[in-house]
Chain A
Amino acid sequence: MTLKLADPVVVPGGADARCDDVLRAGIGSGITIENVTKRYGAFVAADRISLDIQPGEFVTLLGPSGSGKTTLLNLLAGFQRVDGGEIRVDGKPVQNVPVHKRGFGMVFQSYALFPNMTVAQNVGFPMRMAGINRADTDRRVAETLGMMQLSDSAAKMPSEMSGGQQQRVAIARSIVMRPKVVLMDEPLSALDRRLRESIQMEIRDLHRTIGSTFLFVTHDQSEALTMSDRIAVMDAGRIIQVDRPETIYRQPCNRFVAGFVGESNLIDAEIVRREGAALVLRTKTGHIFRSPAPEEVSGRNVTVLVRPERLILSDTPGQESIPARVKSALFLGEILRIEVTLDSGETLLVRCSDSAGQTLPAPGSMVHVSWGMSDGWVLA
């Protein structure tokens, strides 16, 4: 999509990450979360969480419900007070700054548009609250509505709009002040898939254009992978892993992350020896294979992650291949989804893209499973 701005921001090369970083640093705020704890009675919703967010970064908090991601967002917004630890924005502690003086933008899951105001009044609300004069407010509101392609809806009431349109208004409201920080609490979860994907791209582009620091909460892993500079995976009130999306997907730190982000095959194996950055391993069925591994691995028995799309099926045995029996085979359109059972009883999931002439293997038939030397990952 194209963005229209009164003072266009020149983005050389568009998608070049480094240029973006330079550009954003001037606008967004850096956020430091240090040992932040929040309790509700005996329940610890946030357990000594620490996270450093760079100015202008797009960070996603990803986790199942109850993992503490929304709590962390609410602590940052100031709806709740931290019980321990500190949150600093641009180096300044914000614990004692009331919500309305933090100057963040925020998008809510339920949109939270004021039903008694028009779209333009909703978007202009933060500017009125900041005491900005009417002429400037009107100009900026018009500009922001233009960015979100809502210019025609300015006079509508939120109740007259579809869910997707309402959420765009909510997004417009959150960025109208060009805040240094924009918080988004599962903003797309109420929308259907296609709409969700198109708004994902809009948010991503918006982030590039205005350069604020974005903190995005979701339980949808594919959303997190698509949008973020970095993902913080959360579980039970803690951050489990913070990394770039591809690292989270390819080199998760434990079973939880591996299982929560994407589909995964987890194979139990025993360490034979270390060879530089890789380990030589033996499966329960006695097959020997090599896999990249983190520097520190504890114990002799490990779990190896192999993503379903990295597995290769063939009719004939090859080097380091494991025999297996087909349990089920499904045709999903662009992808074939095949489940196979190893002699050890472990079930593996295989995904391969559809190609001409490929036939679905019959359930019960014998196949040979293999993967490349760099396709596995040992979970620490």
Chain B
Amino acid sequence: MTQTDAHDGNPGVTPSRSLSERLKDPALLLIPAFAFLGFMYLLPLTDLMQTSVEGDPWWADLQRVLSVPLYFDSLVRTMNIALTVALLCALIGYPAALLIQRTKGITQVLVAMAIILPYFIAILIRTYAWMVLLGRNGPINKFAVWIGAFDEPVGLLFNRGSVLLGMTAVLLPIMVLSIYSSLSRLDPALVRAAMANGAGPLAAFWRVLLPLTLPGVGAGFLLVFVQALGFFITPSLLGGPGDMMFAMHITQQADSITGEGFLQALAVVLLVLTLVVVAIAGRFLGFEFIWGGERKAPMPKAQQNVDRPRPARGGTKAALADRVGWPLLRGLGALNARWGEWTVRVLAICVIATLVLPIVVVMIISFSKASYLTFPPTEYSLRWYEKFFSDRNWMSAFWNSLFIAIMSAGISVTLGATAAMGIVRSSIRGKSTLMLLLVSPIIVPPVVLGLSLYSLFLKFDMVGTYWGLAAAHSIGGIPIVVVIVAAALQGVDRRLEQGAAVHGASPLTVFRKVTLPAIAPGLGAAVFFAFLHSFDELVLTLFLSSPRMKTLPLMLWGDINYQLNPVLAVVSTLEVLLVVGGIILARPVFARARAGT
């Protein structure tokens, strides 16, 4: 189905030409995706910015945002939280990435799954799991009372600590993946060489491993930081009144009646802040960090520019590492090497527990008989499953989500795969700029995107329609598809295609018999992730849905805010099963895809 989707998508591109002709000019394949993104993404954002500067003078609204202490403090707080979360992720993500790299065989698969799987489960559900875990009747309180640490259950939720914990847990997989991909690209002989040349495990880490994986750490740090800046769901659910993040102000203002312009100015401030961070980061790391690529330096000139200043920079960095870091570490070096191994293991196991335990707890609670959340459940039953499957509201929300996700996956894959083909196969100029534009929706805070789309949806009467929501979700789905399919296409050996053509295959046959089978695993993965992206989407939907159009995340969101009952646990469990099932089904596909790249 995937294959025909992507394939049938092609004829819609430029109807006047035959397919074979079009394959000769792949740059044209970029048109549909850019037309779509231009209308659904760039236009609304431009509108938003325009509205924000319509005051008199033009900076009036922006100035108001920054001069009201409420918002200014929130901006500082948001950066503060994002920075702390990024630091926490880096600190505990590194041992986890090391553990994935150092283990072998089935252990490696299990460790990797434990860390990566939660990444595919909706943020809403993972946040909900933390609410369960940290609640008054939750397992942590129960355990603490049982061992006598607390006299009675303590309020662990709705404070800065729970926000940081929840956000770190939610964003950690991004960091681990980023560091791991950097680690796995290293020549394993380098660490051996360091050890053979007299470096102990700590010295090998400090002098060789860490400096060489610093780009990966940096990329992970920025991805986490940028995403945390626009975070809305987790701080809303886990934070107290003193932990309002900037994105929350935007939704709050959107609900109340505010003067046109001020609301938009709020969003623009958040957007500009995000873009500035990304721009500065891109300057140093290369913008490839956004889609998880390592700077490749397409032109030799760029390569030189990257390399030249290095010795100088290395000088100051090395001096710092020598004077400050190394003496500290040398003190640790006196300890037995076993300590280091165990530190890595214990830290990594903590990380895995943080990621997996909440989900397990939620799955267990879904079988509870009690009508409030308590762990461990006193009695077990399937009553909440019955409730979910017999409740008309839940079921209609489920079907709505399913329809929208299927439509959105269709749109994303059609547009994304053709665009990826256009990027990889054309000789068009400014490819990296085009790629940056295609994947940029990943970094725009969803709250900003939702707000900007709202006026477009009003204008074209798309609020609460299937097509409207599916199209909105595709804004985020396209980047996912482009990244995956472009990587798959780059893995295709051009000589195979040339070989087929030399032996008489027409361009269409070459595509069908050689290219398509080679990228099929990538396409399959792209469909799955685009589907999940839409199925889990909440923030855009909050802005763009009507009271009559409820999706599953929307129902969950309403219930979490209104009453924490085990039906939520049932939905969460089903979602986890969906993700696990999808990944198990797709496992051979992933294995092939990984072998290909």
Contacts and interface: CB of A to CB of B under 8 A. Distances in A.
Contact of A100 (B189, B190, B195, B310): B195
Nearest to A79: B192
Interface centre among B193, B196, B211 (most CB of A within 10 A): B196
B307 A160 contact: yes
A112 B189 contact: yes
A100 B193 contact: no
B337 interface: yes
A118 B311 contact: yes
Interface string B406-421: 0000000000000000
Nearest to B317: A116
Given A108-B193, A116-B212, A159-B307, A100 B314 contact: no
A117 B314 contact: yes
A155 interface: yes
A130 B189 contact: no
A378 to B, nearest CB: 43
Given A114-B208, A116-B314, A157-B310, A103 B198 contact: yes
Interface in B171-206: 187, 189-190, 192-200, 203-204
A114 B194 contact: yes
A98 interface: yes
A100 B192 contact: no
Nearest to A115: B212
B212 A100 contact: no
B189 A110 contact: yes
B592 interface: no
A100 B311 contact: no
B198 A77 contact: no
A104 B197 CA distance: 7
B187 A110 contact: yes
Contacts of A157: 307, 310-311
Interface string A100-125: 11111110111011111110010001
Nearest to B190: A112
Contact of A125 (B207, B211, B307): B207
Interface string B553-579: 000000000000000000000000000
B192 A126 contact: no
A112 B192 contact: yes
B516 to A, nearest CB: 36
A155 B197 contact: no
A140 interface: no
Contacts of B197: 100, 105-106, 125-126, 129, 173-174
B198 A112 contact: no
B592 to A, nearest CB: 25
Interface string B213-249: 0000000000000000000000000000000000000
Nearest to A108: B189
A321 B528 CA distance: 76
B326 to A, nearest CB: 10
A161 to B, nearest CB: 12
A110 B311 CA distance: 23
A104 B195 CA distance: 10
A129 B197 CA distance: 8
A99 interface: yes
Contacts of B337: 98
A98 B192 contact: no
A113 B191 CA distance: 10
Interface core residue of B189, B193, B197, B208 (most chain A CB under 10 Å): B197
Contact of A99 (B189, B190, B195, B314): B195
Nearest to A77: B196
A117 B311 CA distance: 8
Nearest to A114: B208
Contacts of A101: 198
11 contacts: A98-B337, A100-B197, A106-B192, A110-B187, A114-B193, A114-B212, A116-B314, A118-B314, A129-B198, A129-B199, A173-B193
The 4 closest A-B pairs by CB, nearest first: A129-B198, A112-B193, A112-B189, A106-B196
Given A100-B198, A114-B208, 18 more contacts: A77-B192, A77-B196, A98-B200, A99-B192, A100-B203, A101-B198, A105-B196, A108-B189, A112-B193, A113-B193, A114-B190, A116-B212, A117-B314, A130-B198, A157-B307, A157-B310, A157-B311, A160-B307
Interface of B: 187, 189-190, 192-200, 203-204, 207-208, 211-212, 307, 310-311, 314, 318, 337
Interface of A: 77-79, 98-106, 108-110, 112-118, 121, 125-126, 129-130, 155, 157, 159-160, 173-174, 177, 183
